[in-house]
């Protein structure tokens, strides 16, 4: 039976196309994606890169509007001067094709080992220079790419592509503003849920549910995923990334409010410090110093300013307040 099953398996396809249903509405306009592809191809020409293989969530989402869920499988986008092709796993069916912007979608199956790399080899000629993301490509995976494309020179384009993504278009700015507005709604819902004895997770749920419903209203064509809330109280606020717990809020607690709307892969955050019922004098003094630094930072931000110069000036304020040694991360974070 095992021999027969293996024989059948070997006859099943390694690659498929699944054009199931109709294409969905993209997050941005057709022109927006064409602009992104054009700038990428200009970079490729400048660096003498013949093809690009993206593997990260951020670049695949940026160039073809597909935010994948990996679950142990690999995804990709191949860009040449002639085509934009997405590569997805058979377990996801036709959704990647419906979602992606580009010329077509290639689906790889699980019937044979390394079918992902067969899909890549089908779409990328075995010659020239291929740009990949060294910051998102484990050595094992890079070695397999080299085995399937032995005549290719693989070069790193991750930092260059990051710089392209950093300059936001008008459509992106409008999208991010919508995300910020959704976070505000989450923040108000969170604050309304705070009361003595309430568990952290219940407060966080109130915020997340409010944001998801608002995203559904503002973006009825979108996929609803990854929007969430961090809400910490008391001792749990000592680390920025401490998880939500079942701790009950008590009077006098310091509270950390973090609302994250995730709309089509665009992360927007509302992060605030609160106190429940009352704030002790020592905490108020530190909070006022933080506000002083925040307001100074707003005045320093302008076109042409360097983040390092802004940080150095803000460090001086904290030094004067005797608080610099307590900084744990950069000013641009929150």
Active-site annotation, residues: 241
C-alpha–C-alpha distance, residues 179 and 176, integer Å? 5
Question: What are 139's two structure tokens?
Answer: 């050595």
Q: Name the residue among 106, 134, 124 with its Cα closest to residue 51.
A: 124
Q: What is the 3-state secondary structure (H, E, C) of 112-170?
A: CCCHHHHHHHHHCCCCCEEEECHHHCCHHHHHHHHHHCCCCEEEECHHHHHHHHHCCCH
- DSSP H stretches of helix in 152-266: 158-166, 170-193, 200-218
Element (H, E) at 40: helix 30-46
C-alpha–C-alpha distance, residues 24 and 95, integer Å? 9
Neighbouring C-beta atoms of residue 75, cutoff 10 Å: 22
Element (H, E) at 76: strand 76-79
Give the residues across from 254 on adjacent strands: 275
């Amino acid at each position: 039976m095992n021999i027969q099953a293996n024989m059948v398996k070997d006859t099943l396809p390694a690659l498929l196309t699944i054009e199931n249903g109709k294409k969905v509405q993209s997050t941005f306009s057709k022109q927006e994606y064409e602009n992104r592809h054009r700038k990428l191809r200009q970079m490729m020409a400048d660096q003498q890169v013949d093809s690009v293989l993206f593997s990260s969530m951020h670049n695949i989402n940026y160039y073809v509007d597909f935010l994948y869920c990996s679950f142990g499988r690999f995804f990709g986008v191949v860009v040449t001067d002639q085509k934009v092709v997405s590569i997805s796993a058979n377990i996801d069916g036709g959704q990647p094709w419906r979602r992606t912007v580009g010329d077509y979608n290639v689906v790889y199956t699980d019937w044979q080992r390394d079918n992902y790399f067969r899909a890549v080899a089908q779409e990328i000629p075995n010659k020239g220079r291929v740009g990949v993301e060294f910051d998102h490509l484990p050595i094992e995976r890079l070695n397999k790419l080299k085995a399937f494309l032995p005549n290719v020179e693989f070069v790193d384009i991750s930092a260059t592509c990051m710089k392209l993504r950093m300059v936001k278009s008008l459509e992106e700015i409008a999208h991010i503003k919508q995300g910020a507005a959704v976070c505000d709604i989450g923040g108000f819902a969170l604050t309304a849920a705070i009361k003595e004895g309430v568990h952290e997770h219940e407060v966080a749920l109130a915020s997340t549910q409010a944001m998801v419903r608002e995203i559904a209203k503002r973006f009825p064509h979108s996929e609803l995923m990854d929007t969430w809330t961090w809400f910490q109280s008391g001792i749990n606020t000592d680390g920025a990334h401490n998880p939500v717990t079942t701790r009950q809020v008590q009077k006098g607690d310091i509270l950390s409010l973090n609302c994250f709307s995730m709309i089509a892969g665009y992360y927007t955050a509302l992060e605030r410090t609160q106190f429940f019922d009352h704030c002790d004098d020592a905490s108020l003094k530190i909070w006022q110093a933080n506000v002083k630094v925040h307001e100074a930072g707003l005045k320093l931000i302008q076109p042409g300013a360097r983040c390092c110069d802004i940080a150095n000036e803000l460090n001086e304020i904290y030094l004067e307040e005797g608080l610099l040694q307590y900084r744990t991360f950069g000013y641009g974070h929150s």
